[in-house]
Amino acid sequence: MAKADATTCSRCGEPVSGFGGVKNTGDPNSSTEPALSLQGQVQELEAASRRNIRNSRFLLRVCGAIVFALLLTGWQLYSTRVLAYAVLKNVTIGQDEDAPNRVLVSFDVVEPGQVAFDRRSADSRTEKLDVMPSRGPVTLSWAWPSHESIDFRVVYRGGLLRTSEQKVLTVGKVSNAVDIVFLMDSTRSMTPFIDALKQNCIDFAEIVSREGHDCRLGLVGFGDVELNEPIEVFPPTADLARFREHVGNLEVTGGGDNPESSVEALQRALTIPFREDARVCMVHITDAGCHNVGTLPRIAEQLKDRSITTYVVSSDEFANLYTRLCNNGGHVFPIQDAGFEDILDNVARSIVNEIRYRQG
């Protein structure tokens, strides 16, 4: 009789006989169960294979969903971080010659979108995001009160990728010194204005000084030199009491005919030794025209070249005559539009605003 080989059941791990029955191990608690036939083992393998296929398909769908989500997120980020930016060409970064703290940026918009502007100076940083809605050339400017170099960067799109243009701008120390000279017509008709300047000069200086400026006031009094009326010159001083004294001591003259010596007064004012680092402003106050009108264009050019800001307080009748002097942010104030005290306040605030604009 053939001897059965002992094998192990694939389901229960019990030893079985070679004929498919489970071998009795002598354990009274063990049961004798029929072993799987070869066909049963094949079916079990097929079921396991189907389960593996289903699990693989499920994992494949999960992975596909994850990949799709990643691609969608990536596209959204790409659209936001890159495609949303404008396509630019000919990007240039420079400085205003008259105000080094003012950054000038120009470029051509090829495809509309947003443009980022990033400025760093010492420990300070400013970021600005602007939208360019249409194609064409664009020029922009910004000013910052910085005494350090300015690292300025423009971020835009160059084709399919984001790119930038960067430049480090050198900024010198910005002075807070302001020398203001009043050119006061001292003829008799101007007596009320002379008195008002004397009474309000301290308030005038305080408007400028409270903005942190080192303000000094000077004076040029003039009448009609053709009648041998003197031109009195007092250089700018920080001693406001002394300035008031100068105003009060102006020699009031008759003036004679209507034209006065504004041109000669301006020429004398240009010879005053101003502080080297000071911003110079002149306030020309008169109710009359002037001799030597043909000289005014040359004086206006000198004022412009020296970056001197000139304000004129005069009647409407002579506004066109003196407007040419108002370069570098100057302005004409009609002498009859308001009380002279209010005009002086407006001039002081205009000086402050112009300095703020120039220095940032």
CATH code for the domain of 145: 2.60.40.10
Q: What string of pLDDT tens digits covers the 360 residues of the chain?
A: 444 444 555 555 555 444 444 444 555 555 555 555 788 788 888 888 888 998 999 999 999 999 999 999 988 888 888 899 999 999 999 887 766 767 889 999 999 999 999 988 777 778 888 999 999 999 988 766 556 678 889 999 988 899 999 998 877 666 788 999 999 998 888 888 888 888 888 889 888 888 878 899 999 999 887 888 889 999 999 998 999 999 988 888 875 567 888 999 999 999 999 998 888 999 999 988 888 889 999 999 999 999 899 999 998 888 888 999 998 888 898 887 657 888 888 899 888 888 776 665
> Could you tell me the two tokens for 305?
């070249």
Same domain, 260 and 326: yes
Q: In sequence order, which residues have a C-beta less than 8 Å from that of residue 254 and are 6 or more positions away?
A: 187, 188, 223, 227, 229
Domain span at 114: 87-169
Distance, in Å, from the CA atom of 233 to the CA atom of 218, rounded to the nearest integer, reads 8
Q: What CATH number corresponds to the domain at position 246? A: 3.40.50.410
Residue 145 corresponds to which tokens in the numbers above? 């009160």
Q: Looking at the structure, tell me whether residues 202 and 305 fall in a common domain.
A: yes
| Domain stop point among 139, 169, 199 | 169
One domain, residues 342 and 225: yes
Residues in the chain: 360
Do 156 and 187 have their domain in common? no
**Cα–Cα distance, 246 to 235 (Å, whole number):** 10
Q: What is the dihedral of CA 184, 187, 188, 192, to 10 degrees?
A: -10
CA separation for the pair 228, 332 (Å, rounded)? 29
- Same-domain check for residues 203 and 330: yes
Count structural domains, the chain.
2
Q: Write the CA distances from 196 to 62, 119, 202, 216, integer angstroms.
A: 86, 46, 11, 18
Which of 131, 139, 148 minimizes the C-alpha distance to 94?
Answer: 139
- Euclidean distance between the first and the last CA atom of the chain, given in angstroms as a whole number: 113
> Considering only CA atoms, which of 309, 312, 237, 313 is closest in space to residue 273?
237
Same domain, 233 and 132: no
Quick check: 30 and 24 in contact, CB under 8 A? yes
Phi, psi dihedral angles at 319 (to 5 degrees): -60, -45
Q: pTM of whole model > 0.75?
A: no
